[in-house]
Structure 1
């Protein structure tokens, strides 16, 4: 009966809802691909193959085929036996790891709201269910699965396009024993959108944890932390958005606290985490007034709670937010000079401290278990991930046929390496990031005029590049997904992301070990080096990520967002077609269709077929 049921499901899928594998399309163009995806989407078939690549369209609703029945159905089955499913890809990864004893990775790509976060959850859930048992193994599984709600609470936020948007990049690694049981895991994060801590666009929220805390904290917690409603806090009320449709922040807070316990945080550590979250909210309510061109704290009453929660003196906090010590060298001697800040500089120091506290807290949690610079870096990472896809699915496959002496007509595609080079190249000519860092290295204090200097140097250095152009407020990069305009205003300041030594020293003076440990800098040693920048960090992180992924056998999920309304069965033709184009699905289908459906390196073929070959020889 099980076989008949599987056959009926698959047959119905092909006849009624387009084709399972788009290699089988009669016409290969963007219209045909988009039409096939629409047919399947409207019949609640959100998964479609291009060979081994999985296309996933966000349904914006719960679907019934992610139960234990489907886990059993896809476990150990060949891809063609069942309808396309993310469980099939996850099972293929797991079995390849066991058989070939090679590292596997899945690269999930797509724009905000396309369903990347949910796809990652399904993969981890499937692997957890099929990979053995035992108390120790179950504990590891619990940590792996519970890390999701924790990271989402501290790293996700409501945006205009997505109610649960990941505002950081993540690389999740699960380690398995030779028996296929998970015995450890590691999460790496990069590029947390720190600016969201201090401001958000209209209709957006800050990170979920703030609203969870304010809605879910007990009466005792609220009194200890001095917290009230979200509209009271400057860091939250600028966007005038405090709730998310169909989301209970109170319920999610309970899950977040449970997740902290599961990953091993003690009660004292959990308390310290909440203290820091509340401290950031209180910091945001410190405002400044101008007196003789100097900044003064508007009301010292607002210094009390953040000082108390951070374990620092109220006077110290006031002093470090409104003044700064600068080292000056005269005749071989170094002299420290106290410089009083204006209101703009004081606000900058307050926000820099708030962003540093939150981002370091986020890093701690990861290790334990409108910002244009930020968006520019996100797009750079997307370019690098697209480059991996091109290298391994379009470029390498065609080169393999040529090397094998097989007659092959080259299939053209856009290789976005030129865009990656435009952004990250060090020399001949230098890329945008190198020019940006050079300008930042020569900036003074607040950096007046640096942004225009950057724009002039970009125009002079790379103005002739066909993937770069200028506009009246900044510059445009022609990414693989389309043109993106970057406002140059504030670009250099955000790239420097300076946290002055005075602030670090203040945090190192905290009476709380938890706060102290978040600021381990050796300030004397760091004074001698060139300060690192956001672009330097993200370039290093992105290239390290690429190197790690290239050592694995890759699997791909290309996520597509069908509409901007976030409603089920709503299909915006032009939006989907655009994604089909820039994801290179047509080229992917053409390469797969013209090539071999199944290819295996000879060494691997021999290893898996050795016993069969030996028996065949004996029979002869």
Structure 2
């Protein structure tokens, strides 16, 4: 939760709350609606037993407002899910700990196969919007989901892609950019085939030419990957500093073109 959540969240005075004891000794509170400007209490996404109905995609929540979003993010954070989806946006809650399996090679390949290569042998006439709408809900949100859709857009549609990473200091922007760059740089090296282009730009290449140039292309790609990943500490050495809330805070705006 944001550090200032107590200041920006409405808290009715304690005097307006009445505690009632039920038969099972659980406590219930009644709230005087005159303390709310519109005299309405926001609905919460709970089941018949009052248990919060956590959603991986906030767009699927029945009642969407500031409080329900914060409750949903907090519940997922408690369960060890730092990522939550809002349509095509990924919200990241910095867990301040490293989850080994969360960024494993197997996890990278899972999203790459789900998003990039899943339909490489099928009809590719579906639009990117239709593809996202039909496949997004079947897996947990992840930053690799974003990078995989970007790579797919580059490989299939041959359209420039942009990713914007924003957030307050210490939210994890620098590490997120590193993860995205690493995934984009290494995603192709772990797969034997290239996604077919809808514009058929590679269709004219002969099989013999592909075979003869494959080794050279692989070597060049690995060199680019290595240089790309090693560039991050150089930028950090010139533009990062330790602050009260962040040991490795970026003190500059950064635009990276790949």
User: How would you bin the TM-score normalised by the shorter chain?
Assistant: 0.5 to 0.7
Query: Who is 1:147 aligned against?
Result: 231
Query: Who is 1:75 aligned against?
Result: 112
Judging changes above 3 Å, is the alpha-carbon distance between structure 1 residues 51 and 35 closer, same or farther for their aligned structure 2 residues?
same
Once residues 177 and 81 of structure 2 are traced to their aligned partners in structure 1, the CA distance between those partners, rounded to angstroms, is 18
Once residues 76 and 137 of structure 1 are traced to their aligned partners in structure 2, the CA distance between those partners, rounded to angstroms, is 20
Q: Give the SS at the match of 1:105.
A: coil
Query: Who is 2:165 aligned against?
Result: 108
Q: Is residue 84 of structure 2 the alignment partner of residue 48 of structure 1?
A: yes
Q: Is residue 93 of structure 2 the alignment partner of residue 57 of structure 1?
A: yes
Q: Is residue 71 of structure 2 the alignment partner of residue 35 of structure 1?
A: yes
Query: Who is 1:91 aligned against?
Result: 148
The Cα of 1:131 is off from its aligned counterpart by 2.2
Structure 1 stretches of 4+ with a deviation exceeding 6 A read: none
Q: Give the SS at the match of 1:108.
A: coil
Query: Who is 2:118 aligned against?
Result: none
Tell me the alpha carbon deviations over residues 372-425 of structure 1, each in whole angstroms, 9 at most, x when there is no partner: xxxxxxxxxxxxxxxxxxxxxxxxxxxxxxxxxxxxxxxxxxxxxxxxxxxxxx
The Cα of 1:17 is off from its aligned counterpart by 7.8
Once residues 101 and 163 of structure 1 are traced to their aligned partners in structure 2, the CA distance between those partners, rounded to angstroms, is 39
Q: Is residue 185 of structure 2 the alignment partner of residue 128 of structure 1?
A: yes
User: 1:153-192 to 2 correspondence within 5 Å?
Assistant: 153-174=237-258
The Cα of 1:16 is off from its aligned counterpart by 8.9
Gaps of 5+ in 2: 1-50, 115-134, 190-216
Question: How many residues were matched structurally?
Answer: 160
CA contact (8 A) 2:94 2:171 kept: yes
Tell me the alpha carbon deviations over residues 207-246 of structure 1, each in whole angstroms, 9 at most, x when there is no partner: xxxxxxxxxxxxxxxxxxxxxxxxxxxxxxxxxxxxxxxx
Q: Give the SS at the match of 2:140.
A: coil
Gaps of 5+ in 1: 1-14, 175-620
Q: Give the SS at the match of 1:54.
A: strand
The Cα of 1:119 is off from its aligned counterpart by 0.7
The Cα of 1:129 is off from its aligned counterpart by 1.8
CA contact (8 A) 1:47 1:85 kept: yes
Judging changes above 3 Å, is the alpha-carbon distance between structure 1 residues 161 and 17 closer, same or farther for their aligned structure 2 residues?
farther
Once residues 81 and 130 of structure 1 are traced to their aligned partners in structure 2, the CA distance between those partners, rounded to angstroms, is 21
Once residues 84 and 95 of structure 1 are traced to their aligned partners in structure 2, the CA distance between those partners, rounded to angstroms, is 17
Once residues 109 and 17 of structure 1 are traced to their aligned partners in structure 2, the CA distance between those partners, rounded to angstroms, is 27
Once residues 126 and 81 of structure 1 are traced to their aligned partners in structure 2, the CA distance between those partners, rounded to angstroms, is 21
More strand by share: 1
CA contact (8 A) 1:17 1:45 kept: no
CA contact (8 A) 2:186 2:225 kept: no
The Cα of 1:98 is off from its aligned counterpart by 1.2
Q: Give the SS at the match of 2:90.
A: strand
For the pair shown, which has the larger CA radius of gyration, 1 or 2?
1
Q: Give the SS at the match of 1:109.
A: coil
Tell me the alpha carbon deviations over residues 489-529 of structure 1, each in whole angstroms, 9 at most, x when there is no partner: xxxxxxxxxxxxxxxxxxxxxxxxxxxxxxxxxxxxxxxxx
TM normalised by structure 2 equals 0.59
The Cα of 1:148 is off from its aligned counterpart by 0.6
Q: Give the SS at the match of 1:163.
A: coil
The Cα of 1:150 is off from its aligned counterpart by 1.3
Once residues 36 and 21 of structure 1 are traced to their aligned partners in structure 2, the CA distance between those partners, rounded to angstroms, is 10
More helix by share: 1
> Bigger relative contact order, structure 1 or 2, given CA contacts below 8 A and separation 6+?
1
User: 1:68-467 to 2 correspondence within 5 Å?
Assistant: 68-77=105-114, 78-132=135-189, 134-174=218-258
Judging changes above 3 Å, is the alpha-carbon distance between structure 1 residues 63 and 161 closer, same or farther for their aligned structure 2 residues?
same
Q: Give the SS at the match of 1:110.
A: coil
Q: Give the SS at the match of 2:107.
A: helix
TM normalised by structure 1 equals 0.25
Once residues 187 and 172 of structure 2 are traced to their aligned partners in structure 1, the CA distance between those partners, rounded to angstroms, is 23
Aligned CA RMSD, in angstroms, stands at 1.7
